[in-house]
Amino acid sequence: MRLLVKRSSDRVKGQIAVPTSKYHAHRALMLASLAPGTSRIVGLSNAQHIRHTITALRGLGTRIEVDGDSFLVHGGPYRPLRSQVSVGSAGTALYFLTGLASLASAPVTIVGQKSFPRRLIGPQLQALSDLGIDLDSPTGGPPISVRPRRPKGGHARIEGILSQWISGLLMVAPFATGPSTITVEGEFNERSYVDLTVRMMRQFGLRVDVSENGRRFDVEPGQCPTPATVVLPPDVGAAAFGLAVTALHPADVLFRGLPALPVDQVDHPEADLLDIVAGMGLPMTADSATGMVRVRHDGIRLRPARVDCRAVPDTLPALSVLGALADGTTVLDNVAHVRLKESDRVAAMLQLTRMGARIEQRGQRLLCHGVERLTGGELSSFNDHRVLMALAVAGTVADGETRLTYPNAYRGSYPRFLEEMNGIGLDMSVERERERDREPERDQARTPDRCGTRAPALAAPAK
Q: Are 170 and 207 in contact (CB under 8 A)?
A: no
d(C-alpha 367, C-alpha 393), whole Å: 19
Burial group, residue 260, by CB count within 10 angstroms (0-12, 13-18, 19+): middle
Task: Check whether 235 is labelled as a binding-site residue.
Answer: no
Task: Check whether 256 is labelled as a binding-site residue.
Answer: no
Instruction: Tell how far CA 107 is from the center of its chain.
Output: 29
314 counts as catalytic: yes
Indicate left, alpha or beta for 180 from its phi (over 0: left) and psi (-120 to 50: alpha): beta
d(C-alpha 178, C-alpha 101), whole Å: 18
Task: Check whether 386 is labelled as a binding-site residue.
Answer: yes
The per-residue DSSP string of 363-415 comes to TTEEEEE--S-EE--EE--TT-HHHHHHHHHHHTTEESEEEESSTTGGGGT-T
Strands, sheet with 12-17, edge to edge from the N-terminal-most edge strand: 12-17, 251-259, 292-297, 284-286
Strands, sheet with 358-362, edge to edge from the N-terminal-most edge strand: 306-308, 329-333, 365-369, 358-362
In 3D space, the residue among 451, 203, 219 whose CA is nearest the CA of residue 313 turns out to be: 451
Task: Check whether 63 is labelled as a binding-site residue.
Answer: no
Q: Which residues contact 436 (CB under 8 A, 6 or more apart)?
A: none
Task: Check whether 119 is labelled as a binding-site residue.
Answer: yes
Task: Check whether 164 is labelled as a binding-site residue.
Answer: yes
CA distances (Å), origin 249, targets 6, 236, 301: 14, 20, 10
d(C-alpha 103, C-alpha 452), whole Å: 34
Task: Check whether 252 is labelled as a binding-site residue.
Answer: no
**Terminal-residue alpha carbon distance, the chain:** 28
Q: Which of 314, 327, 344, 449 is catalytic?
A: 314
Task: Check whether 152 is labelled as a binding-site residue.
Answer: no
Task: Check whether 22 is labelled as a binding-site residue.
Answer: yes
Task: Check whether 91 is labelled as a binding-site residue.
Answer: yes
Which phi and psi (to 5°) does residue 355 adopt? Answer: -100, 5
Length of the chain: 463
What residues are labeled active site?
Answer: 314
Residues flagged as binding site: 22, 27, 91, 119, 163-164, 314, 341, 345, 386
Residues flagged as binding site for phosphoenolpyruvate: 22, 91, 119, 164, 345, 386
Residues flagged as binding site for 3-phosphoshikimate: 22, 27, 163-164, 314, 341
